[in-house]
A and B are shown apart, each in its own frame.
Chain A
Amino acid sequence: MRLASALNRSVFFALLWVTLTGGSADALIYGGLAVAAATLLSLRLYPADQPGIVLWRVAGFLPRFLADAFMGGLDVARRALDPRLPIAPGWVRAQLTNRNEAAGVLLGGVVSILPGSLAAGSGDAAMDVHLLNVTGYSADRMQADERRILGLFDRRIDSQDVANG
């Protein structure tokens, strides 16, 4: 498990390096060192026994993410340009179904891209969310977004569901 995870991550970092350097040959030796260091650091910061993210599921998530990013930017630009400044800002506290911290950070990032919402950190299976239009908040949509994010992880994340204690 640990070995497979180290291998996966070093391949990923190696691809990043090749993209960044344009695959130039004289940078390869530094690349080897950088990939090794990055893999060790990543295993230390996020050990292999933690729930992993499944890369091909992230690829499937990407089109929707890009569409959301576009709608989010369009929405905030429209409000900023409107002479009447149509916003009614306010905070809500959204209940989450899972306690995993990595999933919380990822969900916060995605929520902050969505139209009208901005995450302010999660903890204790709840997340503070700021809304540009607080009357338009939908707890159902928030739960659907959380389910989508949890779906990017492998099955080990289920053990951190609130329902499982």
Chain B
Amino acid sequence: MADWFTLAAVFLLLSVAVALGRCWRGPGPVERIMAAQLAGTGVIGVAVVLGAARRDAAMLDAALIGTLLAAVAVTAFARSAAKPGDRPEGRG
């Protein structure tokens, strides 16, 4: 059973690699920062299945931290990319 989970991790990495092709091609900055969003789902999937394969709960902590860091990265991007005056209500 553990082998299936390891195999799933390989497939997930492949899937993330394919999706990274989009981040590489762009064309816009939003496409590129999607790489961080990908880390927020794809790489966390890898951590969860590897954790299940080895019954290692520490992998779940890694997954959790990965989610939160990805969210912070994307938020930082959005704040730095937004120009003042883009939206009247934009406070940040």
Q: Do chains A and B touch in the complex (CB under 8 A)?
A: yes
Chain A to chain B: the 3 pairs with minimum beta-carbon distance, closest first: A123-B89, A123-B87, A124-B89
Interface string of A9-51 (1 = CB under 8 A from B): 0000000000010100000000000000000000000000000
Give every chain B residue within 8 A of A20 (Cβ-Cβ).
61, 64
- Chain A residues within 8 Å of B, Cβ to Cβ: 20, 22, 121, 123-124
B88 near A124: Cβ-Cβ < 8 Å: yes
- Chain B residues within 8 Å of A, Cβ to Cβ: 57, 61, 64, 87-90
Closest chain-B Cβ to A121's Cβ sits at a distance in Å of: 7
A22 near B57: Cβ-Cβ < 8 Å: yes
> What are 10 A-B pairs with beta-carbon distances under 8 A?
A20-B61, A20-B64, A22-B57, A121-B87, A123-B87, A123-B88, A123-B89, A123-B90, A124-B88, A124-B89
Tell me the bound Cα distance from A13 to B61 in angstroms: 17
Give A104's nearest chain B residue, CB to CB.
B89
Tell me the bound Cα distance from A121 to B88 in angstroms: 12
Give A20's nearest chain B residue, CB to CB.
B64
Give every chain B residue within 8 A of A123 (Cβ-Cβ).
87-90
Tell me the bound Cα distance from A22 to B60 in angstroms: 12
